[in-house]
Amino acid sequence: MRSLFELAITLVPFALLWLAMWLTLGLGYWFTLILAVPAAGLLVRLFLIQHDCGHGAFFRRRRTNDWTGRVLGVLTLTPYDYWKRSHAIHHATSGNLDRRGIGDIDTLTVREYLALPWRRRLAYRLYRNPLVLFGIGPAYLFALQFRLPVGFMREGWRPWISPMATNAAIAAVAALMIWAVGIADFLAVHVPIALLAASIGVWLFYVQHQFDETAWATDRAWNVHDFALHGSSHYDLPGILKWFTANIGVHHVHHLCSRIPFYRLPRVLGDHPELAAVGRITMFDSLKCVRLTLWDETAQRLISFADLRQQLRGAA
């Protein structure tokens, strides 16, 4: 019942806000864009409910989780079964330097970066630029990359089912909405919601693993439990943002036990208060995480390009 309640208080307000945005188009687009902010927040919350479904945490039955996740994937533009597989790899490899590349944000070590030719260094610097990472990148990820089984394309026909079925469902829903409100109104309402939600989602994922106290190690020194706890942050957000982000900020606990539904994560911190200080970052702290771009294997911490320049000058 709790899961159905959480789904209802997210899905129904999202639908009503979408309708309100459409009805206010004639009053001035600025008002429509204001309403897009809470609508995007609700879409993020729907994605995080889908995320819990992928972990088998939202409902008791696997089938109920999977079909709820698949339906929500049409709204979030995320092929559920494909994403579920890549996200499981992320959980199984988070913080492992030897197993990067699927379900994570590309992060190079200092040694790897310095070994690159200048063109590839430039490409990496562009990729890690905040305008790309949190602007262009999320739009590309949800609008284009999720339309194909990237990372699994050579594994036969099965990985194609989830993206292609989701694409067909998205096309059908979009066609129905365009028929109902017109293509211009549909795009004017839905595009800002989707773009803003995508950027928020990527930002959350970024600060949950790219922060000052995060931990990375090679396969020999890595183990799943230690790096779940110390490689994931406790993003301590204000109460209203905790609600919109479905407590995903309690990310270290989530990585320790992904079968805990999001609405029970605060109880874990209450029962184990020592976990509250582990990897804790505030909203202000998180803004400083943007500069962290390279893993320094010597210092065992993330550093910025500016930090690397200072190191190289000091060694010269």
Count of C-beta atoms within a 10 Å radius of residue 159 = 21
Contact 255, 232 (CB under 8 A): yes
Q: What pLDDT does 207 receive?
A: 95
C-alpha 228/C-alpha 255 separation (Å) is: 5
| Cα 193 → chain centroid | 16
Q: Integer distance in angstroms from the first to the last C-alpha of the chain?
A: 64
Residue with tokens 């562009």: 126
SS3 content of the chain, % helix, strand, coil (to 5): 70, 5, 25
Contact 233, 207 (CB under 8 A): yes
Three-state secondary structure call for residue 124:
helix
Q: What pLDDT does 316 receive?
A: 63
Nearest in space to 234 (alpha carbons), one of 197, 272, 182:
272
Residues 108-143: tens digit of each pLDDT? 999 999 999 999 999 999 999 999 999 999 999 998
Q: pTM surpassing 0.75?
A: yes
Q: What pLDDT does 40 receive?
A: 98
Residue by residue, pLDDT tens for the chain (316 residues) are 899 999 999 999 999 999 999 999 988 899 999 999 999 999 999 999 999 999 999 999 999 999 999 999 999 999 999 999 999 999 989 888 888 877 788 999 999 999 999 999 999 999 999 999 999 999 999 988 888 887 787 777 788 889 999 999 999 999 999 999 999 999 999 999 999 999 999 999 999 999 998 989 888 888 888 888 888 999 999 999 999 999 999 999 999 999 999 999 999 999 999 999 999 999 999 999 999 999 999 999 999 999 999 988 877 6
Exposed/middle/buried for residue 46 (C-beta within 10 Å: 0-12, 13-18, 19+): buried
**Strand blocks (E) in 20-147:** 108-109
**Domain around 100:** 2-315
Q: How far is CA 243 from CA 6, 45, 250, 306, in A?
A: 10, 8, 12, 36
Nearest in space to 34 (alpha carbons), one of 9, 17, 52, 57:
17
Q: What pLDDT does 200 receive?
A: 97
Total domains in the chain come to 1
Q: What pLDDT does 171 receive?
A: 96
